[in-house]
Amino acid sequence: MFRTKSVEQSIRDTEEPEHGLRKSLSALDLTVFGVGVIIGTGIFVLTGQVAKETAGPATALAFVAAGVVCALAALCYAEFASTVPVAGSAYTFAYASLGELVAWIIGWDLVLEFALGTAVVAVGWSGYVRSLMDNVDWTMPEVLSGPDVAEGFGFDILAFALVLVLTVILVVGMKLSARVTSVVVAIKVGVVLMVIIAGLFFIKAENYKPFIPPAEKQEAGGGWDAPLVQLMFGYEPTNFGVMGIFTAASIVFFAFIGFDVVATAAEETKLPQRDMPRGILGSLLICTVLYVAVSLVVTGMQHYSELSISAPLADAFKATGHPFYAGLISFGAAVGLTTVCMILLLGQTRVFFAMSRDGLLPRFFSKTHPRFRTPYRPTILLGVVIAIIAGFTSIEELATLVNIGTLFAFVVVALGVLVLRRTQPDLPRAFRTPLVPLLPILSVAASVWLMLNLPVETWARFGGWMVLGVIVYFVYGRSHSRMAKEGR
């Protein structure tokens, strides 16, 4: 259960003609992928919502705090992705350092994280598109608008179609995916920059007072909806005040989810030792700066207490008498979610492919397309399954599972850096995480703290999925593993 797969063996696996992926990505492609998946509805919705309810204008500091947590994990990811340039991200890293069972658990976790993330984002994209259609008096029939809209049976045809189209793009090749992503990310970042620049002209200094509002105790809660940290330690999270910034950081962390997906493309990168650290850290830095700028603009345009919950940035422009920018924001959000959906689906298929190549899932799924050199079998399977989930299911309650899954991956990767430094100190490392062991330990502590701020219900669902994964491992994965068959 705790046998490890050497880095050398992992790299040799990528050289097999039928099981290797085409190397076509550059540092710029990776950075674009990172920006493409990180910037989603969070920048248009979450900023104002958190400002009104949790941190006020100090939401900018909450984004900085969440960005620091992600940066700690990103430094660990950068070392692993440049040292072990193999598809699978945290799954592959865990296999090389912590053992097969831990690798299976984190792979199983990532399968859930990326699948739910893709479906949730597709449903969100459908909502924005329907909103834009309503603006020009085009109305989708309720029966084709999904279960969240229809009173009885509902199928979200737009979400279903989006996932299928993106599946075809991913099957055709990574370079095409990178080109599509580059165009869409350019549009999305352009909209964000336009909103920031336009908003600067409507900022009023008095709206920033007080920058850190006085602390308020959150309404008493308990049971399934209560944060785990509250039940364990009696800690009472606060809104506003200094501690409110950290409470807000645990919420706005959702907006950063996705940068770890860049690591899943390590095997398809031309110079992973150089370009993986640049792609991971570069995309995270760009998005943190944009998030901070947007939060300062929205809280400067309108006092935090007057911000709306559903569409705070758009409504702030409406309040200043500029509805054009509100429509522009909706357009930017709809365009932006396209790349988020595609890159999450990309991450899902690469993890599934890596687990299949190791024999932990059926080897049938590890053969690449003879022409496109992409893992077309898992891409088609997962694309169809996720499209159906997105079409038929209302999955808002499951969205927090994406967050806890990401944080769990952060913990595993940070621990993996510590273990691999001790077990293989002489392994060539193009990028080295600084201040080891201090920085990985801080990464583990910060990730665990944010996990403890999630509801008990989320922990219960996550635990159930993990238990199911362990059962599948002992029933199938352990006996079919290539390591087991090779007697290692």
> What confidence score (pLDDT) does residue 386 get?
92
Residue 28 bridge partners (DSSP): none
Residue 236 has pLDDT above 90, yes or no: no
> What confidence score (pLDDT) does residue 218 get?
67
Close Cβ partners of 159 (under 8 Å, ≥ 6 residues apart) = 119, 122, 123, 125, 126, 146, 387, 390, 391
Region 127-147 average pLDDT: 78
pLDDT band at 242 (very low <50, low <70, confident <90, very high): confident
d(Cα 242, Cα 55) in Å, to the nearest integer?
Answer: 8
d(Cα 40, Cα 333) in Å, to the nearest integer?
Answer: 6
Least confident stretch, 139-153, 241-255, 257-271, 333-347: 139-153
Residue 478 has pLDDT above 60, yes or no: yes
Extract the tokens encoding 78.
Answer: 């950068």
Close Cβ partners of 275 (under 8 Å, ≥ 6 residues apart) = 25, 26, 27, 30, 269
d(Cα 262, Cα 279) in Å, to the nearest integer?
Answer: 7
CA angle 227, 404, 354 (to 5 degrees): 165
pLDDT tens string 7-54: 787 877 777 766 667 788 888 888 988 888 888 766 766 787 789 888
3 state SS of 5: coil
Residue 11 lies in a domain: no
d(Cα 44, Cα 32) in Å, to the nearest integer?
Answer: 19
> What confidence score (pLDDT) does residue 134 get?
75
Residue 455 bridge partners (DSSP): 227
Residue 19 lies in a domain: no
d(Cα 138, Cα 141) in Å, to the nearest integer?
Answer: 10
Decide: residue 429, CB within 10 A, 0-12 exposed, 13-18 middle, 19+ buried.
Answer: middle
Residue 5 lies in a domain: no
Residue 311 has pLDDT above 70, yes or no: no
pLDDT tens string 58-106: 999 999 999 998 899 989 988 988 888 887 778 888 898 889 999 999 9
Extract the tokens encoding 159.
Answer: 């979400």
d(Cα 141, Cα 358) in Å, to the nearest integer?
Answer: 46
Close Cβ partners of 212 (under 8 Å, ≥ 6 residues apart) = 55, 56, 57, 58, 61, 240, 241, 242, 244, 245
Extract the tokens encoding 157.
Answer: 């045809």
> What confidence score (pLDDT) does residue 300 get?
93
Residue 471 has pLDDT above 80, yes or no: yes
The residue among 34 and 258 whose pLDDT is bigger is 34
Residue type, 20: G
d(Cα 256, Cα 274) in Å, to the nearest integer?
Answer: 23
Helix axes 312-319 and 272-301, enclosed angle (nearest 10): 40
Residue 149 lies in a domain: yes
In the chain, the number of structural domains is: 1
Q: Which residues of 109-145 are buried (b: 16+ CB within 10 A; e: fewer)?
A: bbbbbbbbbbbbbbbbbbbbbbeeeeeeeeebeeebb
Domain CATH code at residue 144? 1.20.1740.10
Which of the residue ranges 150-154, 184-188, 418-422, 424-428 has the most confident prediction, judged by mean pLDDT? 418-422
Domain that holds residue 210: 24-487
Residue 227 has pLDDT above 90, yes or no: no
Region 426-448 average pLDDT: 91
Region 387-397 average pLDDT: 76
Region 165-191 average pLDDT: 84
Residue type, 410: F
Secondary structure element (H or E) that encloses residue 239, with its range: strand 238-239
d(Cα 461, Cα 442) in Å, to the nearest integer?
Answer: 26
Residue 82 lies in a domain: yes
Which of the residue ranges 101-115, 133-147, 375-389 has the most confident prediction, judged by mean pLDDT? 375-389
Side-chain-side CA neighbours of 435 within 13 Å: the count stands at 9
Residue 407 CA, chain-centre distance (Å), reads 10
Extract the tokens encoding 477.
Answer: 């994965």
> What confidence score (pLDDT) does residue 47 get?
82
Residue 184 CA, chain-centre distance (Å), reads 18
Helix axes 157-172 and 323-357, enclosed angle (nearest 10): 50
Q: What is the mean pLDDT of the chain?
A: 84
3 state SS of 232: helix
> What confidence score (pLDDT) does residue 205 get?
93
Contact assessment for residue 98 and residue 324, using Cβ atoms and an 8 Å cutoff? no
The residue among 481 and 220 whose pLDDT is bigger is 481
* pTM, full prediction: 0.82
Strands 216-217 and 238-239: antiparallel
Residue 4 lies in a domain: no
> What confidence score (pLDDT) does residue 398 get?
54
In the chain, DSSP finds a helix count (H) and a strand count (E) of: 20, 2
Residue 311: Cβ within 10 Å count: 21
